[in-house]
Amino acid sequence: MDKNVRRYSCIVLTLVLAAFLTIPLTAFGNTPAQAQTAQQVKPNGNHEKYNGFRVVGYYSGDLFDNPVDNLQLPVYTHINYGFLIPQEDGSFIPIEKPDKLRELVEKGHAAGVKIFVAVGGYTYQGVPVVSNFEKIGNSPELLEKFTQGLADFAAEYNIDGIDLDWESPKHEHADSYEKTVLLLKSKLAAQGMELSASVNGTRDPQNGWEAIAAITDKAAAALDFINLMCYDLQSDVHHSPLFFGDLSIDYWLNRGLAADKIVLGMPLYARPSWLQYQQLIALDPENAYRDYAATQPLDSYYNGLPTLREKTLLAMRKAGGVMIFDINEDTQDGTSAISMIGETVRKITEQAGPKQRLAAVCKDAILIIIDRQPLWLSATDGLGTPFIDGAGRTLVPVRKPLEALGVQVDYDTAAKTVTAVKGGTVVKITIGKSDMTVNGQQVPMDTKAVVTGGRTYIPLRAVFSGFGYTVNWSDYGRVAYVVEATAVPEMAAVSENSSAPTVKLPD
């Protein structure tokens, strides 16, 4: 995965794993008995459970000692075990923990998860891996050895596919990259296996950067899906801002790649500190709801839960999946990023019809976050769903959002007036009027409450502000953040070339 060894060197220091790196490499192959034990029926995958949407997790089993049993397997559709390192002669450096891979395959398949092995990465022991890929791709003999070796490895371990992690291919090697993809795809497909690739993100949705422009249309079409590495951005203080993922998706859509083949990658680590998400939460549980922590000796810019949720919603609306790097870096409690991602995808899937793409549900959907808790409103519960009116303002069903704040709601049918009471605050709003009253004082609004579909809808910002709340809107995930006016707004839409969150003004 992107910058994996540079990251790993820092992680190893943090986790005090230096001694671990001296362990000799184990034998490459299985014994006949082990190979027989590994064979089992392969799953269709949770891919179908999410109506085709993928949730891909990178599991660096050779680096971390995190037990497979700690993984939230039912959340994923795919897990990529990393990493198998190619050598310049077309062979591979053996994985260090073959038993862990076998365990992941067995337990992953039992949970309906497809298991891939990632081959490549950015560097290995300080040496760029890309040069090995280039030598292999430029030699028909080495390429045959390399691709057949991967196909044999996949069959031996009973995995479901390979993730090609040839990072930052140069334009002059576009032909070699294409040949590698096509030959490897043909060998894997003959065994009923899939091929994905990890590719760099871009902030240029029209022309891209060399590292992805070198991936030809023919190569992209042959891949079952691509994992966009939308992190480690050098030109912004936030290494993985929302706009980076959004523009990267747009680049591939502009090239004509099907949306369901695009998987948005998200990090569980910070830069420049390289601290893991779980380490940041251990320092302060509040860090789960931020994108920045003032850590020492280096600052930490990362993706907290609000940003990760918005990226998941963005991917459901515009792409075909999300990818998390690395799932070993998550927490095991209520701040778990994986749990949140799983809940978000599951909730949207529940609103979709059979085999309906999640994009159809997310296109116009609005998520309301009240005091950090998502308020899920769907057409299936019969309580109405938020929408944006002709004035560009967000209207919400009257009852559920207000009751989530502990507000008592009454409706006078004859007067067409909603009365909302909490503590000593009384807010009254009448259908069709462009003002409301707060404790008897008239307050103007820039839109009106309406009745549609037999349900009453009220302006979100205007009414909630009457109870001392602020509403901040983010376009990326179509999320309205409702927080007490005295609280620091928690929103996820970080801006280009800025260290501060930027949102559309409250509506």
Domains of the chain (ranges; CATH) run 4-362 (3.20.20.80), 367-484 (3.30.457.10)
pLDDT at 332: 95
In degrees rounded to 5, what are phi and psi of residue 438? -120, 110
- Band of pLDDT at residue 125, cut at 50, 70 and 90: confident
pLDDT at 469: 94
Q: Is the pLDDT of residue 372 over 90?
A: yes
Query: Which tokens hold the place of 416?
Result: 């067409």
Give CB contacts under 8 A, 24+ apart, made by 187-192: 187/147, 187/148, 187/150, 187/151, 188/150, 188/151, 188/154, 188/161, 188/162, 190/151, 191/151, 191/154, 191/155, 192/42
b/e 134-171 (16+ beta carbons within 10 angstroms → b): bbbbebeebbeebbebbbebbbbbbbbbbbbbbbbbee
pLDDT at 45: 55
Query: Tens digits of per-residue pLDDT, 267-305?
Result: 999 999 999 999 999 999 999 999 999 999 999 999 999
Residue 81 in contact with residue 126, Cβ under 8 Å? no
- Band of pLDDT at residue 33, cut at 50, 70 and 90: very low
Q: Is the pLDDT of residue 147 over 90?
A: yes
C-alpha–C-alpha distance, residues 37 and 99, integer Å? 11
CA–chain centroid gap for 29, Å, is 34
Q: Is the pLDDT of residue 461 over 60?
A: yes
Q: What percent of the chain has pLDDT over 90?
A: 75
Q: What percent of the chain has pLDDT over 70?
A: 87
pLDDT at 497: 36
Mean pLDDT of 57-64: 91
Residue labelled with tokens 């049993």? 69
In degrees rounded to 5, what are phi and psi of residue 92? -130, 150
Q: What is the DSSP string of 35-86?
A: HHHH--PPP--TTTTTTT-EEEEEE-TTT----GGGS-GGG-SEEEEEEEEE
CA–chain centroid gap for 116, Å, is 18
Enclosing H/E stretch for 262: strand 262-267
Mean pLDDT of 306-317: 98
**What is the average pLDDT value for the chain, to the nearest integer?**
88
Q: Is the pLDDT of residue 413 over 80?
A: yes
- Band of pLDDT at residue 487, cut at 50, 70 and 90: low
Query: Tens digits of per-residue pLDDT, 191-227?
Result: 999 999 999 999 999 888 777 888 999 999 999 999 9
Residue 456 in contact with residue 397, Cβ under 8 Å? yes
